[in-house]
Chains A and B, each alone.
Chain A
């Protein structure tokens, strides 16, 4: 583990399970200013270290956080704020809290999106409870629900901190009272063309349990009973064949796909920031998905931004949708270090090996959190040798950038 020094930016990634918790320490004079980026773990991928992570982070920061970023409202990024509520409230000082604009209670569009999402999550949870199966989709839903307590703390500013709701296009100078820090906000966009990616469709029918029977929760009977009709009577067309009825039934809705769509919608609200401090560039994309990336990568100057990156937090735990191949290719080979907070529980498909390999090959140094052995936690691939600039603590990795 690396002690804080005057001339280095230090990024500490805690192994929390399936979730994110990063502490970035920037040298300011003889001291350091600290930025906490997310603090949460998915309940199905919890390895029991989140509280220790918070304790360590607050100790390192001497109970003073200049900036707290909650990239998006998913359990695996903010549940720590609820669980360690008391510890956070006991902080001496919190300068600023950043959330995506989609969490702004005063924003009408945001409020509408949020109300709709939560209502759909609830319906889908009832649906899966009634229809069983689909664990992968259910885990995705869990991630969205039950985040109110954490959000409440964050939106209160934790400890009189100023709350900022960020949207793409902004640039923050000296935020959190850190002189010389410049933060470009790359996401989430407000563009109406992009809104659809944060707004999954509604209108399907769902099930719920009624006693021991499952029934349609929001079923519509479009016509009065008198219009019902039995096919095959004289002069009438014959009944549809069974396979046609089945195909139509399948087309009639796919709650599982909708659950994933809701999940992706929230991932797409991720605050994406590019920190620049003393000539060094840190790219923190939250869990931004392909659409969110595509949006800002389509803008002028994005290539130059990517080429400058010194540190990249791998998005969405190294999943298929979250780091475009071309984005990795545009980061300068060997120049940047990357960290992925991940493990293959609860979803075996995350992280995607190919993507991890590609990032590793392009970067000058890469670690993934599950390389640190933690008792009773899923084992990731062992790290053969720490890459230059990295060091390892009991359940965290540090990376230092001299500046």
Chain B
């Protein structure tokens, strides 16, 4: 490969994006359904791999113990064609797709959060390691029907495997399936990594909702990405007459006999509402994998469903119910106009202009919902999240951003959660007012403002002032720690000088929004953490110890006044009991637990949870 000159002529403008071709779904969708799509990835300097500033694609295969040639996305031939053409047999396309979809997912998070995404802090590691600050992506990590985010390696690991012989779905029996060619799987795993960077302790399974929340959030992002791709939505709109939530697409022509005889007479699964279709089929599980949508809402499932993916799908369904409802409300006028022009309700093959308008609405609302969900992360408690708290975070974050909810987004979200029995604790009703997080005054324990915090209104681009930023972070941390110790009770924390548990100001970042009057408003979100060791079984003197965490997420305004406290008290006996009970349950679910004298419970093991998916 010819050497690529790094010196760019200075009279050319640096492009803002780099076009790269990827599958909109996965290879089974072929070229149909607008399955080849171009992602405009934010432009950055890349080394072969690709290795950029945040992502490093390293194509090491642990099963075959070898490396595959890295793609050079700066090669003129690659640039000229907008990235390599999709190919299952060329590992370089796989690397490109993993990089592009992961970058796109990061971009969406950064857009919603208004700041750069950071990865989990990694201890140790060689100081001169060029990939130290990056999330690594192993597109062909091993032969296994699995893909996961590994927090210890700080890497996304994608497996490859042979399709089932007797039930391969649309694949050839024994065909090699690559999980890194599934748009959904890449988006899903990248989301795990991003959430882990924002809320590191959500990977600790402390109640039945925490692992389910991680899975649900990753699925929500992956699914909303489907709906924000206007071209992909268009086909479904055309076939269903705008009913994008249908699980089945009606056949293009009605079957002439009892049964379909030719392809257009077959009905198909709606690709938008399922996840990782090829993967599910290749595993011999014909039903769409983790398809959450399409089950009637009920309030009992939450009591009995504990498997993380299944439980998570209840949350996914709640969010999508709200999304579809808003979409229908927003397009009702268009449908009425179409009907006035003689169109038949809810039938396929609609006017292309109408289809375009509907697709635009669908993708716009999808992007809005993604923003709403992502922004809520900053308003979540630092540890031990439950679905009910996520609802409160959603409502608070969105009402901060859009105080007047003219189109009723929040109303629909609340309704959808309520229908699925997601109950926030310590709340007197499902009204928006009641669900919003409170300030310490409301609890009757006001706190003074926190003085002396410093920040940049605009995030610095270059790394040269890293030293200055590190100094400022230390100063802010010290100020916040002292403040929290002095006002522990008001912030929902517990502190006695020189006694455990200590208070740790774990993270601090500004959040930006535009006030209704057009001014830029800056708030700060801070995580305070506390931890103590407790015996797993208090009745047993030899019981193993578990880490029990508490703390608060505190949101300050620019003047350092506390706007919201989201607390998880470390003294909560109820939470402690619940965590004990939950950890024992995880143990019960482990097949090896019966036969091995010792086994580990505690930290969430993504490998084990994902196995089989």
A contact residues vs B (CB 8 Å cutoff): 112, 115-116, 136-137, 139-140, 192-193, 196, 199-205, 216, 218-224, 227-231, 235-241, 244-245, 247-249, 251-253, 256-257, 260-261, 263-264, 289-291, 294, 298, 316, 319-322, 324-325, 347-350, 354
Which of A220, A224, A230, A236 interacts with B143 by CB under 8 Å?
A: A220
- Complex Cα distance, B63 from A84, in Å, reads 45
User: B310-342 vs A: 1/0 string, CB under 8 Å?
Assistant: 100000000000000000000000000000000
Which chain B positions have C-beta within 8 A of A196?
307, 612
B145 contacts A202, C-beta separation under 8 Å: yes
A350 contacts B594, C-beta separation under 8 Å: yes
- In addition to A298-B304, A320-B594, A349-B597, 8 A-B residue pairs with Cβ atoms within 8 Å of each other are A112-B166, A201-B145, A218-B162, A236-B70, A237-B47, A249-B62, A261-B611, A324-B588
Which 4 A/B pairs are nearest by Cβ-Cβ distance?
A203-B145, A201-B612, A252-B142, A298-B304
User: B52-91 vs A: 1/0 string, CB under 8 Å?
Assistant: 0000101111111111111000000000000000000111
Most buried by A among B63, B157, B307: B63
B63 contacts A321, C-beta separation under 8 Å: no
B144 contacts A252, C-beta separation under 8 Å: yes
A320 contacts B588, C-beta separation under 8 Å: yes
Q: Given A112-B166, A112-B167, A236-B48, are A229 and B67 neighbors across the interface (CB < 8 Å)?
A: yes
- Complex Cα distance, B585 from A248, in Å, reads 28
- Complex Cα distance, B65 from A286, in Å, reads 44
Which of A192, A193, A227, A239 interacts with B305 by CB under 8 Å?
A: A193
B162 contacts A290, C-beta separation under 8 Å: no
- Complex Cα distance, B71 from A380, in Å, reads 64
Q: Is B161 in the interface zone, CB < 8 Å from A?
A: yes
**CB-nearest residue of chain A relative to B282?**
A203
B612 contacts A298, C-beta separation under 8 Å: no
A260 contacts B62, C-beta separation under 8 Å: no
Which chain A positions have C-beta within 8 A of B68?
223, 227-229
A316 contacts B283, C-beta separation under 8 Å: no
**CB-nearest residue of chain A relative to B537?**
A354
Which of B126, B130, B145, B587 interacts with A320 by CB under 8 Å?
A: B587
Which of B141, B152, B164 interacts with A252 by CB under 8 Å?
A: B141
B603 CB to nearest chain A CB (Å): 15
Which chain B positions have C-beta within 8 A of A219?
63-64, 143
B163 CB to nearest chain A CB (Å): 9
Which chain B positions have C-beta within 8 A of A193?
305, 307, 310
A205 contacts B69, C-beta separation under 8 Å: no
B478 CB to nearest chain A CB (Å): 34
How many residues belonging to B are interface residues under a CB distance threshold of 8 Å? Answer: 76
Q: Given A236-B48, A257-B592, A320-B588, are A229 and B144 neighbors across the interface (CB < 8 Å)?
A: no
A237 contacts B58, C-beta separation under 8 Å: yes
B contact residues vs A (CB 8 Å cutoff): 3, 47-49, 51, 56, 58-70, 89-92, 126, 129-131, 138, 140-146, 150, 152-153, 157, 159-162, 164, 166-167, 176, 178, 283-284, 287, 303-307, 310, 540, 584-585, 587-597, 607-608, 611-613
- Complex Cα distance, B580 from A325, in Å, reads 13
Which chain A positions have C-beta within 8 A of B152?
247
- Complex Cα distance, B60 from A33, in Å, reads 65
A229 contacts B143, C-beta separation under 8 Å: no
B103 CB to nearest chain A CB (Å): 18
A223 CB to nearest chain B CB (Å): 5
- Complex Cα distance, B594 from A139, in Å, reads 13
Please name 22 pairs of A and B residues whose Cβ atoms are closer than 8 Å in the assembled complex, sorted by A: A136-B596, A192-B287, A219-B63, A222-B61, A222-B140, A222-B178, A223-B89, A229-B67, A229-B68, A237-B49, A237-B130, A240-B58, A251-B142, A252-B143, A252-B159, A257-B591, A298-B304, A322-B594, A324-B588, A347-B594, A347-B595, A349-B594
A269 CB to nearest chain B CB (Å): 14
- Complex Cα distance, B91 from A137, in Å, reads 36
A220 contacts B161, C-beta separation under 8 Å: yes
B591 contacts A321, C-beta separation under 8 Å: yes
- Complex Cα distance, B48 from A227, in Å, reads 14
A350 contacts B89, C-beta separation under 8 Å: no
B89 contacts A224, C-beta separation under 8 Å: yes
**CB-nearest residue of chain A relative to B150?**
A251
Which chain A positions have C-beta within 8 A of B153?
244, 247-248, 251
B70 contacts A237, C-beta separation under 8 Å: yes
A223 contacts B310, C-beta separation under 8 Å: no
Which chain B positions have C-beta within 8 A of A241?
126, 129
- Complex Cα distance, B87 from A222, in Å, reads 13
- Complex Cα distance, B146 from A62, in Å, reads 55
Q: Given A228-B67, A228-B69, are A263 and B591 neighbors across the interface (CB < 8 Å)?
A: yes
Which chain B positions have C-beta within 8 A of A228?
66-69
**CB-nearest residue of chain B relative to A230?**
B67
Which chain B positions have C-beta within 8 A of A349?
594-597
A203 contacts B593, C-beta separation under 8 Å: no
- Complex Cα distance, B67 from A316, in Å, reads 46
Q: Given A223-B89, A252-B144, are A321 and B588 neighbors across the interface (CB < 8 Å)?
A: yes
A348 contacts B588, C-beta separation under 8 Å: no
A346 CB to nearest chain B CB (Å): 9
Which of A115, A116, A251, A291 interacts with B141 by CB under 8 Å?
A: A251
- Complex Cα distance, B3 from A235, in Å, reads 9
B34 CB to nearest chain A CB (Å): 27
Most buried by A among B131, B142, B591: B591
Which chain B positions have C-beta within 8 A of A137?
595
Which chain A positions have C-beta within 8 A of B91?
222-223, 227
A202 contacts B305, C-beta separation under 8 Å: no
Which chain B positions have C-beta within 8 A of A231?
67
Which chain B positions have C-beta within 8 A of A264?
591, 594
B166 contacts A291, C-beta separation under 8 Å: no
Which chain B positions have C-beta within 8 A of A256?
592
Q: Given A112-B167, A222-B61, A241-B126, are A201 and B590 neighbors across the interface (CB < 8 Å)?
A: no
Q: Given A219-B143, A237-B70, A252-B142, are A290 and B58 neighbors across the interface (CB < 8 Å)?
A: no
- Complex Cα distance, B58 from A231, in Å, reads 10
Which chain B positions have C-beta within 8 A of A260?
591-592, 594-595
Which of B130, B159, B305 interacts with A203 by CB under 8 Å?
A: B159
B152 CB to nearest chain A CB (Å): 7
**CB-nearest residue of chain B relative to A300?**
B300
- Complex Cα distance, B64 from A78, in Å, reads 41
Most buried by A among B58, B62, B140, B306: B62
- Complex Cα distance, B591 from A322, in Å, reads 10
**CB-nearest residue of chain A relative to B597?**
A349
- Complex Cα distance, B540 from A52, in Å, reads 41
- Complex Cα distance, B595 from A331, in Å, reads 26
- Complex Cα distance, B597 from A205, in Å, reads 27
Which chain B positions have C-beta within 8 A of A220?
63, 143, 160-162, 176
B299 CB to nearest chain A CB (Å): 14
- Complex Cα distance, B303 from A204, in Å, reads 34
A204 contacts B143, C-beta separation under 8 Å: yes
B368 CB to nearest chain A CB (Å): 32
Most buried by B among A236, A263, A348: A236
Which chain B positions have C-beta within 8 A of A238?
130
Which chain B positions have C-beta within 8 A of A204?
143-145, 161
- Complex Cα distance, B49 from A344, in Å, reads 53
Q: Given A256-B592, A260-B595, are A229 and B145 neighbors across the interface (CB < 8 Å)?
A: no
A115 contacts B143, C-beta separation under 8 Å: no
Which chain A positions have C-beta within 8 A of B92?
227
Q: Given A200-B612, A202-B164, are A348 and B597 neighbors across the interface (CB < 8 Å)?
A: yes
Which chain A positions have C-beta within 8 A of B140?
222
**CB-nearest residue of chain B relative to A263?**
B591
Which chain A positions have C-beta within 8 A of B145?
201-204
